[in-house]
A and B are shown apart, each in its own frame.
Chain A
Amino acid sequence: MDADYVIDCKGLNCPMPVIKTKKAIDEMEPGQVLKVEASDKGALNDMPAFAKRTGNEIVESSEENGVFIFYIKKA
């Protein structure tokens, strides 16, 4: 999947992936897609909670060698 922006949150712990994601999304246009790479296991539940509360949509998520990848579309 193509992303307009990518942020690397590998090695960061809760709540930093969520905070960095929000910062990145604030700079984007509606409809653009952000790719978030995180290693924090909390992100697995934190990202959906963040998306639900902010109205942004997780269009795809996966895991590769302990790295969680989320594609989030800005509302």
Chain B
Amino acid sequence: MSEEKKKRMAIIASKGTLDMAYPPLVLASTAAAMEVETTIFFTFYGMDIINKKKYNHLQVAPIGNPAMPSPVPMPNIIGMLPGMTAMGTMMMKNMIKGINWPTIPEFVDTCLESGVKLLACTPTMEMTGLKKEDLVDGVVIAGAADYLDFALDANISLFI
């Protein structure tokens, strides 16, 4: 395999809900295991996935999400009630635990350990007042051109 040029995957992670945080991390860590050079560019809400204060507390909201499993059938509007987001998040976290999946912080660590490059979007940091020390160690602060320089040579490019 070494004589071939390494395959590349470029991912943009733009969402900060629990359900949307897993796919970029699962794909990136798997790609790294398959010796694919991988970069994730975190932008907008996606920054929460690498925000040390937030990444262990990502949530998922039942409201406006008819696909969310419910123990009893109920109208989606019930999701507006106080506590429903916390309840939905707890349910999903239990489901995740039930299949022995790592937590978001553990998955971020796995990505870093296996050489996945994690890029943090500078305008999002400016906009939300985030500092480098708020982010997971090992994250690189970068702009769109840096990401595109990598993505232009990528075999797979995903926007999540």
- The chain A residues found within 8 Å of chain B, CB to CB, are 11-16, 18-19, 21-23, 49-50, 53-55, 75
Contacts and interface: CB of A to CB of B under 8 A. Distances in A.
Nearest to A10: B100
Interface string B33-62: 111100000000000000000000000000
Contacts, number: 42
Contacts of A18: 30, 33-34
A4 B1 CA distance: 23
Contact of B1 (A13, A14, A75): A75
Query: Is chain B's interface secondary structure helix, strand, loop, or mixed overall?
Result: loop
Most B C-beta atoms less than 10 A away, residue of A12, A53, A75: A53
Given A11-B100, A12-B100, A13-B100, A21 B33 contact: yes
Nearest to B99: A13
Of listed A12, A22, A23, A75, residue having the most chain B CB within 10 A? A22
Interface of B: 1-2, 7, 26, 29-30, 32-36, 99-102, 110, 114
A54 B35 contact: yes
Contacts of B30: 15, 18-19
Given A19-B110, A55-B1, A50 B33 contact: yes
Nearest to B29: A19
Contacts of A12: 100
Contacts of A75: 1
A14 to B, nearest CB: 8
Contacts of A23: 33
A53 B8 CA distance: 12
Contacts of B114: 19, 22
